[in-house]
Structure formats: structure tokens, C-alpha cells
Amino acid sequence: MQTSAQPSSTEENEISLGIGMGPLKFGASMDEVRALMGEPEEIEESEDDDEFEHQAWNYLEEGYSLYFDREDDYRLSCIETDHPGIRLYGEAIHGKSPEEIQALMKRHGHEQSEVEKMDTGEMRISYEKEMIDMYFDENELQFVNFGVFINEDLEVQWPA
């Protein structure tokens, strides 16, 4: 078994809605993220026709993609992960069913979800206010995409 430089504690993979994941906090600069995570295995630049100019830093071994938007001075604004240890509200969520995830969210006061079934059989459950999208395949949570909160005036709400 390979060991990575990062300790794989449960806190490290704990999603904090609107704040980040483990030690990664939304609003962190690229230098701060590099100090925490090391160099990404690959860096993707957005396409010219993308609505938002951004960079995605892919940490393939850890299963993280970190997004930095130019509009936000390239501060960390979104995380996508398929890490098997991801947790939300202290519960491991990877592989859980849509019903289990919706029940977990409901227990924590998040009831407004939007469900979309793709033609390919996958399913997405989104909580717009909470800025989180969860993707399922064969009724199991595969990966999560979540970002910094945005208020009704479309202003980014960086965590304090």
C-alpha cells in the first residue's frame, strides 16, 4: 500500500458546506493550497469559450480536483472529489444511495434538492443553496462537487 505525504485522517476528508474540506478552505490562495497539498499532478486551464476562466488542479492519487476562478483572483472556490473517505456531517458518504444522502441532508435542515437523471443512467442530486452536487451511478454516490456559498446578489461569501 502506498502512503501519501498527507495523513488520511477522517477530518481531512470532512466536507464543511460553504467552507471547504478538512484543512482546505475556500478563499485560499494557490500558494496556500500548494503548501498544504504539494504540487498537483496536472493543471487544467479552462477552454476559451468557457463562461468562467479557471484553473483546475488535479491531485489524481488523492482523488481531488481543486478549482480556482480568475474572477475570484484565483482563490480556491470549488472542490470535486471521489475520495472513498469523504464525509459529510461526520458520516462517510461514498457509495451511499440517493435516499440515504437525502435523509442525511434533511436531518441537517437541507430539504430543497433537485434531482436529475442523465440519459447515461447516472443521477445528480443538487442542493443549490448549499452549493453541492452529488453524482450517483447504479444508486451509489460516486463523487461530490461543492463550492463556496453565493448569496442572492450573486456575491461570493468567503468563509471567515
pTM above 0.85, yes or no: yes
Per-residue pLDDT of the chain (160 residues; tens, 9 = 90+): 433 444 445 688 999 999 999 999 999 999 999 999 999 999 999 887 767 788 999 999 999 999 999 888 999 999 999 999 999 999 999 999 999 999 999 999 999 899 999 888 899 999 999 999 999 999 999 999 999 999 999 899 999 8
Q: Which residues of 121-144 are buried (b: 16+ CB within 10 A; e: fewer)?
A: eebbbbbeebbbbbbbeeeebebb
Of 125, 131, 114, the C-alpha closest to 67 is 131
- Identify the pLDDT of residue 9: 56
Of 66, 90, 91, the C-alpha closest to 79 is 66
State the Cα–Cα distance between residues 138 and 132, nearest whole angstrom. Answer: 20
- Identify the pLDDT of residue 10: 63
List residues bridging with 160 in a β-sheet: none
* 8-state DSSP, 46: P
- Identify the pLDDT of residue 46: 83
66, 79 in Cβ contact below 8 A? yes
- Identify the pLDDT of residue 139: 95
- Identify the pLDDT of residue 107: 97
Q: What angle do CA 158, 57, 5 make, to 5 degrees?
A: 100
